[in-house]
Structure 1
Amino acid sequence: MTQLTKKLPGLLLATGIAVIAVLIETILPGHFIGSAVLAMFIGIGFRALYYKPELLNEGVQFASKKVLKFAIILLGASLNVSIILQVGSRTLIVLLFTLLTAFGGGYLLGRLFKINWKLSNMIAAGTAICGGSAIAAMAPVIEADDGDVSYAISSTFIFDMGMVILYPIIGQLLSLSDQFFGFWSGTSINDTSSVVAASFAFSEAAGEIATMVKLTRTLAIIPTVIIFSAVYFRQKLKQPNQRKEKVSLQKLFPWFIACFVLFAGLNTVGLIPAELSGAMRQASRFLMVIALAAIGLKTNVRQFARTGWKPFVHAIILSSLVVVVSFAVVAIVL
């Protein structure tokens, strides 16, 4: 009870910010700014104006770590591996090239700009897969700093804002088909809400295709998190004080990702009813908003200034590369 009392103020504050963010999202036209991103920015602003660490820290820490992991677990219940069969091999070909571009280009740009590997790869994951959700899923397994998490999400979000406006215009100017536009937007715009906003602005048919493609792309979270979990564990073993640590399945395959995969599997074989799956997805989205509000509350604006402009340039160049590669590959495979 004492532990709960200590966590309550920070948890309630993060939840209150989440509610405000959801309300703002429903009011804003177009719904192209997701409530999770809004919550993070509100949290950052609140931290800059008023924050009492001794009162709020425990609850904010709980929300940013535990609530985040629970949100990722519930997200699995809304994923269905069988959708890969529905969108076909062409989608997988496009996704293969965009994933290679994002992570390969991210590695080179990270080295060029001398950005720490955690931030660089979170930007790459956000660009390659699904923006904030991928970054949030990857952050716990590599023990990323909250400031880097905020920076990575901010970087990919700013690019998305421009793409939501530009994509429909470019699509109309180039007289793209609904199918071409749906594949292109679904494989190259970062955040799910931005994909939906841009593609449905072009046409309803393009929006439906893009949504299906984006769901397939989201499944890449599973192998990405497992790979980076193994990479980070190997790096820890190289440290002098970690040499005696034994390899364990739990360290290579974090428990919350195991639960995420389990729920995705149960949903794929139809053991989770559609109504329950939908409810779990909604719960996952709101818990993610709470978690990102907490991450915002833990982020000091001065950290952004210390990090500098290079990660933003990194994200813009990388996202632009993915846009171009996606367009080229879609033109070839369709």
Structure 2
Amino acid sequence: MTNYKRTLPFFFALMVCVTPWVTSPTALIIGFLLASLGLVPEQFNLTKITKKLLAYSIVGLGFGIHFEQALAVTSNGIGIIITSILGTLTVGWWLTKLLKLEQKLGYLISAGTAICGGSAIAAVSPAIKAKDEDIGLALATVFVLNSLALFIFPVIGHALGLDQQTFGTWAAIAIHDTSSVVGAASAYGEEALTTATTLKLARALWIIPVAFVSAFIFRNDSKKITIPYFILFYCAAIAFSDLLPQFETIYTLIFDISKRALVICLFLIGCGISVTKLKAAGMKPLMFGVSLWVMISVSSLAWLMLA
């Protein structure tokens, strides 16, 4: 097939992903379908474009975090936040070796489970120089579990008679992406939604130290540490929006554009995945993701119910 015949459907799909009706999981699937059908043009360096766009997207998302509010919630739940993040990353490291999973793939899924799903994976992947294939598999795993959590968590919450605050906290800790946290919590109640949303934004701040530590862990053989400079700009965006709140309208616009850019990134990442690559990866990534998810869900719920 000529590059022209590949380019036309590729750019059409790209334009569709720019619209607000396409979600992150859908964009990933569209890219995957194009790759599987051989409709991804070869003349573009999609890997390079994706990594740059990912970094820009993460910086823009910083304008959507209210620092004081995030710090206040973090201080109230600092114990469970630190324990869940460190515990998930530690268990994930051990499980990666046990299942003989590719190290960076296991780390990406662990980071996504520990902090905030696709956003954490997007932030950590440039810091550890992860391959597009690993990023795509990690995102696919997280999105599958997100979809399940959206329906399962409210059912479990009602069955156990959890109060609004407890459920909101549990959802923010144990569900990967913010969108699914909001969806599950809103179905449970208004107080649960407020608690879950605020706590999830507080957890997003932990992208910063985790990205820096990740760069140190995955430094190359020359022992040179690749500093994820985009995280510094991410911090600057949070500080800037906090110090100059009068430009809230502009910050909201930047935040919305960044979320849409992140969707486009997922489309491009999906273009690097194919049925052949998924078969080669096997069931290990999904088994790994489910194991970590069950661990953090059960342990965090036990913590909250016994506290």
TM over 0.5: yes
CA distance in 2, matches of 1:89, 1:54: 49
Question: Which of the residues 114, 124, 148 maps onto 1:162?
Answer: 148
Q: Does 1:256 align with 2:237?
A: no
SS at match of 1:53: coil
Match of 1:211?
A: 197
Contact between 1:141 and 1:229, CA under 8 Å: does it hold in 2?
yes
| Correspondences of 1:234-253 after superposition (within 5 Å) | 235-237=220-222, 247=224, 251-253=225-227
CA distance in 2, matches of 1:254, 1:272: 29
Contact between 2:109 and 2:138, CA under 8 Å: does it hold in 1?
yes
CA distance in 2, matches of 1:231, 1:329: 30
- Structure 1 residues 299, 272: closer, same or farther in 2, change over 3 A? farther
SS at match of 2:66: coil
CA distance in 2, matches of 1:237, 1:9: 43
Match of 1:153?
A: 139
Deviation digits for residues 13-57 of structure 1, max 9, x if unmatched?
A: 56324136x324xxxxxxxxxx112101110011112425334x2
Residue ranges of structure 2 left out of the alignment (5+ in a row): 1-6
CA distance in 1, matches of 2:306, 2:244: 35
Contact between 1:47 and 1:297, CA under 8 Å: does it hold in 2?
yes
Stretch deviating more after TM superposition (95-104 or 195-204)? 95-104
- Structure 1 residues 272, 128: closer, same or farther in 2, change over 3 A? farther
Match of 2:14?
A: 15
- Structure 1 residues 259, 14: closer, same or farther in 2, change over 3 A? farther
What is the TM-score when the length of structure 2 is the normalising length? 0.91
* Count of paired positions: 301
- 2:200 is aligned with what amino acid? K
Residue ranges of structure 1 left out of the alignment (5+ in a row): 1-7, 25-34, 239-246
CA distance in 2, matches of 1:329, 1:236: 40
CA distance in 2, matches of 1:192, 1:123: 16
| Correspondences of 1:96-175 after superposition (within 5 Å) | 96-175=82-161
- 1:23 is aligned with what amino acid? W
- 1:236 is aligned with what amino acid? D
- 1:299 is aligned with what amino acid? I
Tell me the CA shift for residue 10 of structure 1. 9.8
Deviation digits for residues 94-144 of structure 1, max 9, x if unmatched?
A: 111211221011011101101121001100001011111110111112111
- 2:14 is aligned with what amino acid? T
CA distance in 1, matches of 2:241, 2:190: 26
| Correspondences of 1:1-334 after superposition (within 5 Å) | 12=11, 15-19=14-18, 22-24=20-22, 35-55=23-43, 57-58=44-45, 60-87=46-73, 89-233=75-219, 235-237=220-222, 247=224, 251-270=225-244, 273-333=247-307
- Structure 1 residues 211, 52: closer, same or farther in 2, change over 3 A? closer
Stretch deviating more after TM superposition (320-329 or 310-319)? 320-329
Match of 1:4?
A: none
CA distance in 1, matches of 2:202, 2:208: 11
The percent of aligned pairs where both chains have the same amino acid is 31
Deviation digits for residues 126-179 of structure 1, max 9, x if unmatched?
A: 101111111011111211111111111111111121111111111111111111
CA distance in 2, matches of 1:88, 1:72: 20
Tell me the CA shift for residue 301 of structure 1. 2.2
Match of 1:3?
A: none
Contact between 1:17 and 1:42, CA under 8 Å: does it hold in 2?
no
Query: What do you get for the CA RMSD once the two structures are aligned?
Result: 2.1
Tell me the CA shift for residue 307 of structure 1. 1.0
